Amino acid sequence: MPHARFIAPWKDSTEKPVIYHCVSRVVDRRFAFGPDEKEKLRTFMRMYENFSGCRVLAYCFMSNHIHLLLEVPPLPVGGLSDAELLHRLRCLYNEPVVAEVAKRLAEYRRAGAGAGAAEGLRELHESFTYRMHDLSEYMKGFMQRFTQWFNRSTKRSGGLWEDVFKSVLVEDGVTSRTMAAYIDLNPVRAGIVPDPAEYRWSSYGEAMGGGPRGDGKKARAGLVRATMSHKGYPADARHWAGNVSKEYRMLLLAEGEEKLQEAVGADGKPEVKVVRKGMKKEDVETELAQLERSRDVAIGRMLRCRVRYFTDGAVLGSREFVDGVFRACRDRFGAKRKSGARKLRGNAAAAAGSLWSVRDLRKGVR
């Protein structure tokens, strides 16, 4: 599934997360997905998540398009053990296939350290691992598997998806948290539900108990990672209870007191001048927390609107993050361009100064 998209220059390192917002639409954008189709989308999404080692941080399945916030970690140093490879294969293949692979692995191991056995073992592993820890391979496998099921179920043939999927490279921290909220608010923007918790085919709806088993543990783990990865939090649902879930819900609902809203300037950024010289340390910390909350209020309201940068911005994050990707991918830009970061406009103006895009969407921007 080739596409001219930005791939993180650090994708094979463990220095920082590699996160993408992926969007794909049904051909002709017709409404094709009802409850059964959305449940099957979730089944295949989790199946390929378990097989590939990629991690779904947030998602939403609408009637004619899908959103995924996907983290793509590098393949473990030294590759996968035989046991881990077989475990992942069981997520995607039936037992006879896995048994045959296990048999061949055992034969190579018994053959010892000879060149032929070592080469055969490597080739056998690579015949599966090339599809793991890779953005395009994840989306290709997930979307093709669903298309095959959908075509059989509806007695149709041909492609289901409109061209290739779009992707935006997303910085961890504020950006990934904001993107997750934007994804979870899709059904609210569409007027389907007033509260994102009521829409079961989304990460937040599943996290709040709307999944197939009603536990939502997998979705909560993904949202913890989306909101707290910059602080080193793993994808662990145990961190969801308390401040993480509370702050995420406040962002989704754009709640806030008027005194915090008043601290937001005309450009959507907090008025830092309210932090006055001579204040006690605890008062400064309180007021800074209020400023951060006021930023969330402004951004929360922004997320109720369609924001093109979140699907077409190519790279989204802090100014330093976007400029860093620009420098690493300098050959993809014209010689006259001097910097990567571009200020957000239109509906995204509330996030200007906090988030930046590598694309300047002046024409038709909302």
Query: In three state form, how does the secondary structure of the chain look?
Result: CCCCCCCCCCCCCCCCCCEEEEEEEEHHHCCCCCHHHHHHHHHHHHHHHHHHCCEEEEEEECCCEEEEEEECCCCCCCCCCHHHHHHHHCCCCCHHHHHHHHHHHHHHHHCCCCHHHHHHHHHHHHHHHCCCCCHHHHHHHHHHHHHHHHHHHHCCCCCCECCCCEEEEECCCHHHHHHHHHHHCHHHHCCCCCCHHHCCCEHHHHHHHHCCCCCCHHHHHHHHHHHHHHHCCCCCHHHCCCHHHHHHHHHHHCCCCHHHHCCECCCCCECHHHCCCCCCHHHHHHHHHHHHHHHHHHHHHHCCCCCCHHHHCCEEECHHHHHHHHHHCHHHCCCCCCCCCEECCHHHHHHECCEEECCCCCCCCC
In a domain? residue 136: no
In a domain? residue 119: yes
| Domain's final residue, options 64, 96, 129 | 129
In a domain? residue 344: no
| Domain's final residue, options 129, 155, 190 | 129
Q: Which of 356, 237, 354 is nearest to 298 (CA)?
A: 354
In a domain? residue 89: yes
* pLDDT for 253: 87
Total domains, the chain? 2
In a domain? residue 218: no
Please give the residue range of the domain that contains residue 269.
255-302
In a domain? residue 108: yes
* pLDDT for 305: 87
In a domain? residue 292: yes
In a domain? residue 111: yes
Cα separation, 56 vs 69, whole angstroms:
6
**pLDDT tens, per residue, the chain with 366 residues:** 334 588 999 998 888 999 999 999 999 889 999 999 999 999 999 999 999 999 999 999 999 999 999 999 999 999 999 999 999 999 999 999 999 999 999 999 998 767 788 999 999 999 999 999 999 999 999 999 999 999 999 999 999 999 889 999 999 999 999 999 999 999 999 999 999 999 999 999 999 986 566 679 999 999 999 999 999 999 999 999 988 999 999 889 874 332 233 333 444 333 333 334 444 555 545 554 554 555 555 777 888 888 999 999 999 999 999 999 999 999 999 999 989 999 999 889 888 888 999 998 865 433
* pLDDT for 363: 56
* pLDDT for 299: 79
